[in-house]
Structure 1
Amino acid sequence: MNAPTDLPWRSNARPVPGAMLEALRARFGERLSTAAAVREQHGRDESPFPVTPPDAVVFCESTDEVAAVVRLANDHAVPVIPYGVGSSLEGHLLAIEGGISVDLSRMTRIVRLNAEDLTVTVEAGVTREQLNREIRDQGLFFPIDPGANATLGGMAATRASGTNAVRYGTMRENVLGLTVVTARGEVVRTGTRAKKSSAGYDMTRLFVGSEGTLGVMTEVTLKLYPLPEAVSAAICHFRDIGDAVRATIQTIQMGVPIARCELLDVNAVRAVNAHSKLGLREAPMLLMEFHGSEASVKEQAETVQAIASELGGENFEWASTPEERTRLWTARHKAYFAGMAMNPGCRTVTTDTCVPISRLAEIIEASVREADESRLPYYIVGHVGDGNFHLAYLVKDGDAPQRALAEQLSLQMVQRAIAFEGTCTGEHGIGLHKMAFLPQEAGEGTVELMRQVKRALDPKNIMNPGKIFSL
């Protein structure tokens, strides 16, 4: 298996016919754009791949409009690439076969809030921050927090998770139902607002994580949670990264219902200090958050503090006010940009393996040794409470040897994760960047089953083609 440094860009390009563009212009007017700047914006994400723009962009404002675009695309066998805010990391939205980018960012309605049932239905362009602003006065929140202010449709498409996943799960556990436009332009609905169902195939879970390759999600029904009575955050520093991870492992194994448990290595701490003016001690650090009643939060925190102290944890500091907590978590969420700011002119090759919690210290320590030996700049952040961590290699833009080295290190880490019965991607998805790893993790037979599903639901291969696996 080779590291994915290059891909066959535009090797199977299917340009949009003039007749289709005319039909789209007649329907959408100025909401159809072929301007170079708009196309380039929709042909880039946060991956290390070059800009690969679509032939045109359509800004849709309803499910019916999405269905109209997809029906035309199906008639002309033209690719369709759903677009939210462009925050994906693995090349999900690059138009490697040309086609139409369907921008859902204007679909921002809260369709139905059922506070008594703790559910909400939103259009796909609603972002997680918008949703939480609009439901806060109901005493509710949506906990899935991947860092970027991503759209909820995009989060469902990539099966996102983030900092709260250790307690609240991922998008897989929190999506109850979907409205999807299929490759034929038909509108289907999956799931219900009930907490469980045994009715037929679980079509909701099939589409969640499908990365736009089976259909375009236009509405998402989600679980909500009551705002906790008490919230407290804490930081704790360690002599080395292994002890920080072992403290996390013991916390999870003891059943402490910690809400967030984030790891930052010394490089990440140094970067966020410079970027967010924090003044944190530059050593491996855990950033934790506890939710519950006043008594339960106090008990959780005392238990974790005792575990950390036994493993050399020092300088346990509390952030009890909302302003202090927000400042810390904002800095954590900006670690990606902080790392790049420390290395101007670089691109990031990011991994996000996830392993059983008992193997987490082993894989991180081995990966750190390899990264140090390579002399490439890097930093580590991780949602270590659920065994997931990110190692970001910073390479000079256009430096082919550095890029190849970073991809080789990423490959070695992924192979180690799979050997530990983990996964090549805990939350970013496969996209383009991790296609070579999927057969090793899932097996050729399983990947062929995925191809059969794809062919059945998308016989003309128009839905975000060339992602997850090749046909």
Structure 2
Amino acid sequence: MSAILFSVPDLFDALRSILGERLSTGLAEREQHGRGESYHASQAPDAVCYAQTTEEVAAIVRVCAARRVPIVAFGGGTSLEGHVAAQQGGVCIDLSRMQRIIKVRADDLDVTVEAGVTRQQLNTELRTTGLFFPVDPGGESTLGGMVATRASGTNAVRYGTMRENVLNLTVVLANGEIIKTGSRARKSAAGYDLTRVFVGSEGTLGIITEVTLRLYGIPEVLSAAVCAFRDVQAAVSTVVAIIQYGIPVSRVELLDARTVRAVNRYSRLALVEAPTLFFEFGGTPASVTEQLELTREIAQGMGAVSFEFAADDDARRSLWRARHNVHYAMQAMRPNARIWSTDVCVPISALPECIAETAEDVDKASFFVGMVGHVGDGNFHLGMVVDPDNPAELAEAEALNVRVVERAIRLEGTCTGEHGIGSGKIKFMTLEHGAALQAMQAIKRALDPLGILNPGKVLPQE
């Protein structure tokens, strides 16, 4: 029980009185709830609570707080930095059954949902309204989890990240109190911005149970293009020029040659196996045509070897399906290995230097490494496909990860653009934040004085 000082029968009896059969202590379910989608080993909780309402979450938290039992919130299980590992055992609160879309307010361009609703579910519900929610990290992520990790994804270059698209939250605090962090107003100068405190907090300050989000009109026309280059630096320089020129691309994604090869095999495409940019443009027919032509002109001026339009909506969807499946495409290059996924983000002007130096590191790796990126906002990822039982490979992957992160911070960037800290990147927090880390720790102490919320994540132990 990981040195937890409580009576197991007492805890389970108290939780069962709230949840009934929705309390599980089965080994398989506990292990499933102790891991995400990366190389990090599973660390199972002692019990899994399937909550269905905010009030149930609050009751569970009060039971755990009275016994100083650690609590880990769980959504879709798609995290990449060890966010859901129960390092000290305790209780996992699974929010995936909280799937109500509470209120769509089309006139105000906002919606309130429970934390277990996925982006795909929300957009399916919104189809008849002419609206959509654009933040698209890929995978079957829950919106509560996306808020907790400050997710972004392929549309961030145009629509921003979760930080820009959350209006307010319902949060259960570490003592079981329920609060709302703000209003639905599009701006406010009333007090501290508590919403932004909890966005990206990774379940260490409170448990998010409801989310109010901004919505957007679906563009009249969507069009996509694929553009291949001889080298990664030319591709990245093209993106920088497009952003600086002010072309309002909806998405721009980079895949290096290795990743394109993996995508071709996994998604049965026939892309040129070279550094490649995927573009999407949205707007009126005239504006989309102008965006396409300007982008092609810039790309060809940078030495693009090909520039092809997606012929129709089916071809466009096929491209983005392949991009969203890139994690599994990399995994398929070495089926018995695991992916050590890392990401960094730098100012857009520093992106060519950062990626060029990283590409040199990747070329020297002894295992498959794929590079992908939401390069329109300076964010890129490495997928290092390693044998988790091979200490030499793990050490090599760790060294590559450290070099990439230190390079990004040197260029005034960050150790993670969207994966979050979890337990995997705690070691870089002091390097990136310096004395500001003490202010973060003060917030943690104030909101979670017992240290029971997702312990061992985000902040180094004091």
The TM-score normalised by the length of structure 1 is 0.96
Residues 107-256 of structure 1 correspond to what in structure 2 (within 5 A)?
107-256=98-247
Deviation by residue 1:1-28 (Cα, 9 ceiling, x = unmatched): xxxxxxxxx8765677320111111221
User: Which letter does structure 2 place at the counterpart of 1:192?
Assistant: S
The CA deviation at 1:376 is 2.5
C-alpha contact (below 8 Å) 1:125/1:152 kept by paired residues: yes
Report SS of the residue matched to 2:345: coil
Q: Distance in 1 between matches of 2:397 and 2:173?
A: 37
Identify the residue that residue 6 of structure 1 maps to in structure 2. Answer: none
Deviation by residue 1:374-404 (Cα, 9 ceiling, x = unmatched): 3331010100000000011111131111011
Q: Distance in 1 between matches of 2:431 and 2:204?
A: 21
The CA deviation at 1:212 is 0.2
User: Which letter does structure 2 place at the counterpart of 1:242?
Assistant: Q
The CA deviation at 1:323 is 1.4
**Pair 1:73-2:45 in alignment:** no
Residue ranges of structure 1 left out of the alignment (5+ in a row): 1-9
**Pair 1:378-2:369 in alignment:** yes
Describe the shift of the 1:227–1:15 C-alpha distance in structure 2 as closer, same or farther (beyond 3 A).
Answer: farther
C-alpha contact (below 8 Å) 2:232/2:275 kept by paired residues: yes
**Pair 1:29-2:20 in alignment:** yes
**Pair 1:453-2:436 in alignment:** no
**Pair 1:467-2:457 in alignment:** yes
Q: Distance in 2 between matches of 1:15 and 1:298?
A: 65
**Pair 1:331-2:322 in alignment:** yes
The CA deviation at 1:466 is 0.9
Q: Distance in 2 between matches of 1:90 and 1:71?
A: 28
Report SS of the residue matched to 1:145: coil
Q: Distance in 2 between matches of 1:92 and 1:375?
A: 28
The CA deviation at 1:320 is 4.6
Identify the residue that residue 49 of structure 2 maps to in structure 1. Answer: 58
Report SS of the residue matched to 1:374: coil
The CA deviation at 1:47 is 2.4
Q: Structure 1 residue aligned with 2:308, among 317, 337, 341?
A: 317
User: Which letter does structure 1 place at the counterpart of 2:448?
Assistant: D
C-alpha contact (below 8 Å) 1:14/1:99 kept by paired residues: no
Report SS of the residue matched to 2:168: strand
Identify the residue that residue 333 of structure 2 maps to in structure 1. Answer: 342
Q: Distance in 1 between matches of 2:79 and 2:365?
A: 27
The CA deviation at 1:190 is 1.1
The CA deviation at 1:348 is 1.3
The CA deviation at 1:131 is 0.3
Q: Structure 2 residue aligned with 1:19, among 3, 6, 10?
A: 10
The CA deviation at 1:339 is 0.5
Identify the residue that residue 395 of structure 2 maps to in structure 1. Answer: 404
User: Which letter does structure 2 place at the counterpart of 1:69?
Assistant: I
Q: Distance in 2 between matches of 1:456 and 1:302?
A: 54
C-alpha contact (below 8 Å) 2:2/2:89 kept by paired residues: no
Q: Distance in 1 between matches of 2:303 and 2:2?
A: 54
Describe the shift of the 1:360–1:451 C-alpha distance in structure 2 as closer, same or farther (beyond 3 A).
Answer: same
C-alpha contact (below 8 Å) 1:60/1:104 kept by paired residues: yes
User: Which letter does structure 1 place at the counterpart of 2:29?
Assistant: V
User: Which letter does structure 1 place at the counterpart of 2:328?
Assistant: F
C-alpha contact (below 8 Å) 1:228/1:293 kept by paired residues: yes
Describe the shift of the 1:340–1:277 C-alpha distance in structure 2 as closer, same or farther (beyond 3 A).
Answer: same
Q: Distance in 2 between matches of 1:342 and 1:374?
A: 15
Residue ranges of structure 2 left out of the alignment (5+ in a row): none
User: Which letter does structure 2 place at the counterpart of 1:88?
Assistant: S
Report SS of the residue matched to 1:352: strand
Describe the shift of the 1:373–1:251 C-alpha distance in structure 2 as closer, same or farther (beyond 3 A).
Answer: same
**Pair 1:260-2:251 in alignment:** yes
Describe the shift of the 1:47–1:334 C-alpha distance in structure 2 as closer, same or farther (beyond 3 A).
Answer: same
Deviation by residue 1:332-378 (Cα, 9 ceiling, x = unmatched): 11111111101121111111100011111111111111121233310
Deviation by residue 1:185-238 (Cα, 9 ceiling, x = unmatched): 010001111111111000000000000000000000000000001110000100
Deviation by residue 1:218-275 (Cα, 9 ceiling, x = unmatched): 0000000000011100001001111000000100011111110000001110001100
User: Which 4+ stretches in 1 moved above 6 angstroms?
Assistant: none
Residues 376-455 of structure 1 correspond to what in structure 2 (within 5 A)?
376-443=367-434, 445-455=435-445
Q: Distance in 1 between matches of 2:297 and 2:182?
A: 44
Q: Structure 2 residue aligned with 1:280, among 271, 284, 303?
A: 271
Q: Distance in 2 between matches of 1:345 and 1:188?
A: 45
The CA deviation at 1:325 is 1.2
Q: Distance in 2 between matches of 1:436 and 1:14?
A: 28
C-alpha contact (below 8 Å) 2:6/2:67 kept by paired residues: no
Greater Cα shift, 39-48 or 11-20: 11-20
C-alpha contact (below 8 Å) 2:171/2:207 kept by paired residues: yes
User: Which letter does structure 1 place at the counterpart of 2:116?
Assistant: G
Describe the shift of the 1:13–1:418 C-alpha distance in structure 2 as closer, same or farther (beyond 3 A).
Answer: farther
Deviation by residue 1:95-144 (Cα, 9 ceiling, x = unmatched): 00111100000000011110001000000000000000000110000000
